[in-house]
Amino acid sequence: MRRLDEYYVFNNWDKRGSFRIGCPFLKNIMRIKISTRVVFLFKNFVIKIPIDYRGYLQGKNERQTWDNYKQSGKLCPMIWEIFGIVCQNRCIPIDKINANKVKEIKKLIPTFDFDNCDLYNPDNWGTYNKKEVLLDYGVNEQISKMYKCKTY
């Protein structure tokens, strides 16, 4: 017999603190991840909704980073942003990220070059059109220090 939590909650907290929930009838349409933003994952796009002021600033900063560096091909394409809510193309998750890749993007985007940045976390990367791209590009040093994420 299936346990109730298998039906309504799958994966719970993942290794980096995102919470994934889903119902059987939604499973193939959409997943949800929660960290500083609630992320609705649809088949071809995602929508990130801030749950606090930091999440709002991340969305705004993500938009600015996209506007400045979209030609680099190193960022997951953004479709639109409004009031800190971001819509991006959906990427395929990856398990690890090469340190050189992180060095490369820090060189390209100097605001990412600070200690304890989250760029070494593969959850913030994915593949889009078979290329590794950064999908979480809204954090700068100031935002990262706003309130530290709890470690579980």
Ligand X SMILES: Nc1ncnc2c1ncn2[C@@H]1O[C@H](COP(=O)(O)OP(=O)(O)O)[C@@H](O)[C@H]1O
Question: Site residues (CB under 5 A) for Mg ion?
Answer: 124, 136
Q: Applying CB under 6 A, does 123 fall inside the site for ligand X?
A: yes
CB of 58 closer than 8 Å to CB of 139: yes
CA-closest candidate to residue 39, choices 98, 108, 93 = 93
Closer residue to Mg ion in complex, CB, 81/136: 136
Give the interface segment with ligand X, choosing from 63-71, 94-102, 104-112, 120-128 (CB under 6 A): 120-128
Size, binding site for ligand X by CB under 6 A: 19
Closer residue to ligand X in complex, CB, 32/106: 32
3-state secondary structure of 143: helix
From the CB of 1, what's the least distance to ligand X, in Å? 31
From the CB of 35, what's the least distance to ligand X, in Å? 3
What CA–CA distance (Å, rounded) separates 138 from 48? Answer: 11
Angle at 124 between CA 121 and CA 128, to 5 degrees: 130
